[in-house]
Amino acid sequence: MTIARPPFRADHVGSLLRNSAVKQARRQHLDEHSISREALTEVEDEAIREAIKLQEDVGLPVVTDGEIRRSFWHYDFMQELDGFKFVERDVATGHNFKGANTRPIFPTITGPVDFPADHPMLEHFKFVAANTKVMPKISIPGPSCCHFRVSKDDIGHKPYSDDLELLFADLAKTYKKAVQAFYDVGCRYLQMDDIFFAYLCDPKIRAEKQAQGLDPDWLIEQYAKMMHDAIEGRPDDMVIGMHMCRGNFKSTWIAEGAYDPAADAVFNKTGVDIYFMEYDTDRAGGLEPLRLLPKGKKRVMPGFITTKTGELESLDSLRRKFDEAAKYADLDQLGIAPQCGFSSTEEGNSITMDDQRRKLELVVKTAEAIWGSV
């Protein structure tokens, strides 16, 4: 059987709502210590098979594991890298969203960073690939996350605290190893969620970085170089996607601001093939930055369909948005995906399983209506 290859017209960011069985099993294993790791894995495996079937049934040409084995979209990957240690602190909150706060868990860097040969997400990908009839994809945090989410005081490895560019260079090497490792286990579609390009478009966050002695525009260039160096020289048959948003936790958000400060670096300096861009509210600004997308094979998946609420967008309204987007980028270089994942952390957004299914069905319906295929 021939499996269709990306880029697709219909796609999604990756995370899906956890069912009640997974939530219960995680609580029993991690909090109550009443079931084994093997028992939890069995529950996760079954939930992932169900999630794969959902994606296939709605007609998506690509599936993920819904990040169902994870607590956070990013930390579960980062904590398995060499050089990282996560600590839970006796403070009120972790990251402050508009209306909700994450648990007080913080990444620290304690030594040289590297990608271990036994990183568990390699096995996570292999499970998806073994249980689907379409293209399997895995989403991991992009390299910028390993800097942006670590406070200056938590960079405990002195060579890095003295020289950020050394940290950036080592992160690029770490991710280059990760790219090859995923390729070696059969991954041909790897997505890196590099949301902090969008964060650095927020005037408030830009001011915060300046107060820390960091030029936000310099950071954007450094983050683009990390991504470029990490994926440069990858095999020709490996496609790299990148997601950008402004925060997604229990249907809340952190950042706002148009993509303008980062658009040129994102489109022209990262080397990425497919861009998943949040565009479900005015917080994302206008579509004008799409004019910087170079002509050719790159593709943007504007996130006109929100995952933060269950209200279903109309096909007519989505058509109008694509008419507007086509003023700045060739319609043939566009596709459709939701604005973000449905469950960036295990808590999930404030929507139902049925809402999630209808949103995914709308992704497929929109692609078929505009391009005639997914």
DSSP 3-state helix, strand, coil percentages of the chain (rounded to 5)? 45, 15, 40
Longest dimension (CA), the chain: 57
Q: How confident is the model at residue 350, as a pLDDT?
A: 94
Q: How confident is the model at residue 276, as a pLDDT?
A: 98
Query: Quick one: CA dihedral 127, 55, 247, 231, positive or negative?
Result: positive
What mean pLDDT is predicted for residues 184-202?
Answer: 96
DSSP state of 338: B
What mean pLDDT is predicted for residues 60-66?
Answer: 98
Residue 21 makes CB contacts below 8 A (sequence gap 6+) with: 43, 46, 47
Asked if residues 221 and 264 have their Cβ atoms less than 8 Å apart, the reply is no
Edge-first strand listing for the sheet containing 138-141: 138-141, 189-193, 239-244, 274-278, 299-303
Domain boundaries defined on the chain = 20-371
pTM reported for the whole predicted model: 0.94
* pLDDT reading at 97 higher than 60: no
Between the ranges 69-78, 95-104, 131-140, where is the mean pLDDT highest? Answer: 131-140
Per-residue pLDDT tens over the stretch 117-167? 999 999 999 999 999 999 999 999 999 999 999 999 999 999 999 999 999
Per-residue pLDDT tens over the stretch 329-368? 999 999 999 999 999 989 989 999 999 999 999 999 999 9
What mean pLDDT is predicted for residues 257-278?
Answer: 98
Q: How confident is the model at residue 92, as a pLDDT?
A: 54
DSSP state of 28: I
Q: How confident is the model at residue 95, as a pLDDT?
A: 53
Q: How many CB atoms lie within 10 A of CB 114?
A: 16
Q: How confident is the model at residue 2, as a pLDDT?
A: 82
Asked if residues 26 and 346 have their Cβ atoms less than 8 Å apart, the reply is yes
* pLDDT reading at 99 higher than 90: no
Is 185 exposed, middle or buried (CB count within 10 Å of its CB: 0-12, 13-18, 19+)? middle
CATH class name, domain 20-371:
alpha beta
Which amino acid makes up residue 306? Answer: T
Is 48 exposed, middle or buried (CB count within 10 Å of its CB: 0-12, 13-18, 19+)? buried
Q: How confident is the model at residue 102, as a pLDDT?
A: 57
